[in-house]
Amino acid sequence: MMRRFAGVVVSTLALLGAGCWLVAATPAGAATPAAGSPITGKPPLQVVATAPKGSLHNPFNGNAAIAKEGHQLFFNYGCNGCHGGGGGGGMCPPLINGVWIYGGSDDTLFRLISLGSDKLQAAGYYRQTIENVVAPMPSMGPLIKSDADLWKIITWIRSAYTGPAGHKYK
Ligand code: HEC
């Protein structure tokens, strides 16, 4: 049901444009969306280009049905090849251990995945720690269809978290 709900919102917004998130979501009535950034349906790189630093917030956090979709997208976009199917790492760092290389805010993760390590740092975000593997994250933005898809993936990453309590979004 959440899959259908999200699809309706995204396609409605594609017609109406950004800023109608609450208006579009309310009549659907399936659930009250968590406070977060509006879904624009635009590619993540376009969203990142105009959103002020620190302003991006996941509208789906905590939604189990969306997390499930996000896990599928994690495979569809090939994230698992580097980070492992469960996000526990492999060739590349784990995503679920509570160690956040550039910080663990929604805004930082959205930008890191979209831009990759180098452009993220050029945009003024700094390496705060290192993981077991140190390598640049490639820019996945050109592959990811929409902000909705990326937020769904981030929702899944949150849901798979196994690190210390209280450190999730830092
Ligand atoms: C070619 C390998 C590769 C692919 C594909 C890849 N990543 Fe990464 N990812 C990395 C590397 C390497 C890092 C560490 C970056 C650094 O240290 O600057 C990283 C870092 C991250 C982090 C931050 C982890 C932390 O501990 O702070 C997240 C979140 C992430 N990737 C998500 C994704 C998602 C989602 C996808 C798919 C859309 C993806 N990655 C695809 C290699 C990859």
Instruction: Output the CA 87–ligand 1 centroid distance in Å.
Output: 10
Q: Whose CA is nearest to atom 42 of ligand 1?
A: 137
Judging by beta carbons within 10 Å of its beta carbon (0-12, 13-18, 19+), is residue 63 exposed, middle or buried? Answer: buried
Helix residue ranges per DSSP H, 92-134: 106-115, 117-122
The CATH number of 2-159, from 3.90.1150.10, 3.90.1570.10, 2.60.120.10, 1.10.760.10, is 1.10.760.10
74-112 confidence digits (pLDDT tens): 999 999 999 999 999 988 999 999 899 999 999 999 999
Atom of ligand 1 nearest to the CA of 79: 37
Q: Would you say residue 152 has pLDDT above 80? A: yes
Atom of ligand 1 nearest to the CA of 127: 18
Cβ–Cβ under 8 Å, residues 168 and 103: no
Domain ranges across the chain: 2-159
Half-sphere exposure of 127 (CA within 13 A, CB side): 11
Instruction: Output the CA 140–ligand 1 centroid distance in Å.
Output: 9
Q: Would you say residue 141 has pLDDT above 50? A: yes
Q: How confident is the model at residue 151 (pLDDT cuts 50, 70, 90)?
A: very high
d(CA 86, CA 121): 27
Q: Would you say residue 19 has pLDDT above 50? A: no
Q: Is 100 in the pocket of ligand 1 (CB under 6 A)?
A: yes
User: Phi/psi at 128 (nearest 5 deg)?
Assistant: -105, -25
Instruction: Output the CA 9–ligand 1 centroid distance in Å.
Output: 28
Judging by beta carbons within 10 Å of its beta carbon (0-12, 13-18, 19+), is residue 97 exposed, middle or buried? Answer: middle
d(CA 21, CA 10): 9
Cβ–Cβ under 8 Å, residues 95 and 28: no
Q: How confident is the model at residue 168 (pLDDT cuts 50, 70, 90)?
A: low
Q: Is 140 in the pocket of ligand 1 (CB under 6 A)?
A: yes
23-80 confidence digits (pLDDT tens): 333 444 444 544 799 999 999 999 999 999 999 999 998 999 999 999 999 999 999 9
What mean pLDDT is predicted for residues 153-165? 94
Which pLDDT does position 8 carry in this prediction?
41
